[in-house]
Amino acid sequence: MSFSNIFYKNKKNKFFYLIIVLVFLSCNKDDNKIEFTFLQLNDVYEIAPIQGGEFGGMARVETIHKELLKENENTMLFMAGDFLNPSLLGTIKVDGERVRGRQMVEVMNAMNFDLVAFGNHEFDVSQKDLQKRLNESTFPWMSANVKLKTKEASIPFYKEINGEKEALNETFIKEFTDEDGTKIKVGFIGVCIPSNPKEFVEYGNMFIKARASYANLKDKVDVVFGLTHVKLANDKRIAKLIPNLPLIMGGHEHTNSNNFIGNVQISKADANAKTVYIHRITYNKKTKKTVVTSELKEINSTIIEDEKIEKIVTKWQGILNTKIKDVISNPSEIIFKTEIPLDGRDTPIRSTQTNLGEIITSAMSFAYDDKVDAALVNGGSIRIDDELVGNITAVDIFRVLPYGGAILKVKIKGRLLKRVLDYGQLAEGTGAYLHRHDITLEGKNWFISKKPLDVNRIYTIAFSDYLLKGFDIPFLSDKSKEVLSIYTPKEDDLAIDIRKAVVSYLKTK
């Protein structure tokens, strides 16, 4: 081969290699665009599927989570508040101590949640139990407007790890990088509704703290998102105050919604992981434009359960079923079907007569063969903070009434009964609000079994045992002079446990 041919060949090869290098460099050049995904849950109280196994279940959510991570490793998993309470599991004792959300933290740790917001129900548990859950959690918490009250001052909530206190932050920053080298910093702000006053909690103004958090964060990151636990009306106000938020992932309401205030999207999924929101997001560093494409994903029985999470759920469900079987032999039996949601949400259940309250009080009367004049239960005993629809199981009734208790048959003077009913009506909005069977209010007059209440008559009323302890209604107890007698059910009586009575009653419907 001549020298000129060798030179030509080498030159050709060099040119070919140069083209490859240029193509490679162009493929890996930062295009200033990056895609990332948010998986949003809110108001999740149950780790296992609900409604006879039809919907929900954290093991199913984890399957979706892992699929999204395969699609895009820049995926974050969020909880927009309310997960430590209420839950049936949280009320039972394990090793002499009530669970109080320990099962949820264990599951969420295993799922590698990226960020959670405080919800008002996190403060249902005591300061001691909340601190335990904070310490156990391996995921970050965030809230700008809740602080821990101490004798000296209000300080941030914290995790105590190996004797060291690590303060929780008001905001959160996450950095994303994609395959072509595009890098951005994403910020998060969040606030909690001040609807659960506790001695150990200080609530700052939601709107002032949200604006201050955003002002503090906006110059440190490329884009800011919201993770809140407030009423939708509050989220809308925050959206007006901070119009540059592309998305607020919210909680508190239990029914899915997707609203826009200007360019701000406000998304909430259904409670108990009946649905989740998947937000696929594109951000352009040059134009500073954020595009959010959202999908409401139903979590149902067609989704395979993640094995790792399912093992944890099965362990806790085994503990729960053992406890329930002390009262009901078949906890998973479907006892009732309804297309009309039975309303056990906190706000309605403490302020108005709901269909779920009617079922419970009707069951209380049923427990005594309807040989009582009426029945009463306090709204605060109904702890599910959710709606029941579809297949209803015995476990669902235990979720509604986790503390159980006997149904007492009480002979009470009409005068005291009127005081009790008046008190319950004035207690609207609190746990002392009374749900009633065969008692109606017409104007200012009470009717018992459709007849005007007679203050001089002696009535036989089915009461939840809690009401006769004098906690909600201070002048009503077993020591009240106008409480003439109290029948306490025997172990084999249907009235021995209010949950057993409701289950039996629904089986007849």
Q: How many CB atoms lie within 10 A of CB 302?
A: 7
Q: Which of 423, 414, 430, 412 is nearest to 481 (CA)?
A: 412
Instruction: Report the distance separating Cα 108 and Cα 104, nearest Å.
Output: 6
Q: Which of 280, 245, 281 is nearest to 265 (CA)?
A: 245
Which range among 289-293, 328-332, 359-363, 394-398 shows the weakest confidence by mean pLDDT?
328-332
The pLDDT tens digits of the residues spanning 23-79 come to 454 555 678 999 999 999 999 999 999 888 899 999 999 999 999 999 999 999 999
Strands (DSSP E) contained in 215-307 are 223-227, 247-249, 257-261, 264-268, 275-284, 289-298
Between the alpha carbon of residue 461 and those of residues 267, 268, 412, 420, 449, the distances in Å are 45, 42, 7, 12, 11
Q: Name the CATH superfamily for 330-507.
A: 5'-Nucleotidase, C-terminal domain (3.90.780.10)
Are the C-beta atoms of residues 476 and 483 closer than 8 Å to each other? Answer: yes
pLDDT of residue 21: 47
Q: Which sign, positive or negative, has the C-alpha torsion 492, 342, 86, 273?
A: positive
Tokens describing residue 294:
């959202």
Helix (H) or strand (E) holding 342: strand 334-343
Mean pLDDT for 74-102 is: 94
The pLDDT tens digits of the residues spanning 227-281 come to 999 999 999 999 999 999 999 999 999 899 999 999 999 999 999 999 999 999 9
Using only the alpha carbons of the chain, give its radius of gyration: 28
Residue intervals in the chain for CATH 3.90.780.10: 330-507
pLDDT confidence bin for 479, thresholds 50/70/90? very high
Instruction: Report the distance separating Cα 156 and Cα 149, nearest Å.
Output: 9
Share of the chain above pLDDT 70, in %: 94
Residue intervals in the chain for CATH 3.60.21.10: 33-298
pLDDT of residue 214: 98
pLDDT confidence bin for 105, thresholds 50/70/90? very high
pLDDT of residue 30: 75
448 contacts: CB under 8 Å, gap ≥ 6? 373, 374, 417, 438, 439, 459
pLDDT of residue 401: 95
Three-state DSSP class for residue 298: strand
pLDDT confidence bin for 385, thresholds 50/70/90? confident
3-state secondary structure 106-175: HHHHHHCCCEEECCHHHHCCCHHHHHHHHHHCCCCEECCCEEEECCCCEECCEEEECCEEEECECEEEEE
Q: What is the DSSP string of 444-490?
A: TEEEETTEE--TTSEEEEEEEGGGGBTSSSTT-BTT-TTEEEEEPPP
The pLDDT tens digits of the residues spanning 339-381 come to 999 999 988 999 999 999 999 999 999 999 999 999 999 999 9
Instruction: Report the distance separating Cα 299 and Cα 365, nearest Å.
Output: 37
Instruction: Report the distance separating Cα 60 and Cα 263, nearest Å.
Output: 32
- Please return the burial class of 149, using the count of CB atoms within 10 Å of its CB with bins 0-12, 13-18 and 19+: middle
Is the pLDDT at 457 greater than 60, yes or no?
A: yes
The pLDDT tens digits of the residues spanning 125-170 come to 999 999 999 999 999 999 999 999 999 999 999 999 998 999 999 9
CA angle 334, 338, 342 (to 5 degrees): 105
Q: Which fold has domain 33-298?
A: Purple Acid Phosphatase; chain A, domain 2 (3.60.21)
Instruction: Report the distance separating Cα 210 and Cα 225, nearest Å.
Output: 11
Q: Structure pTM?
A: 0.86
pLDDT of residue 7: 42
pLDDT confidence bin for 123, thresholds 50/70/90? very high
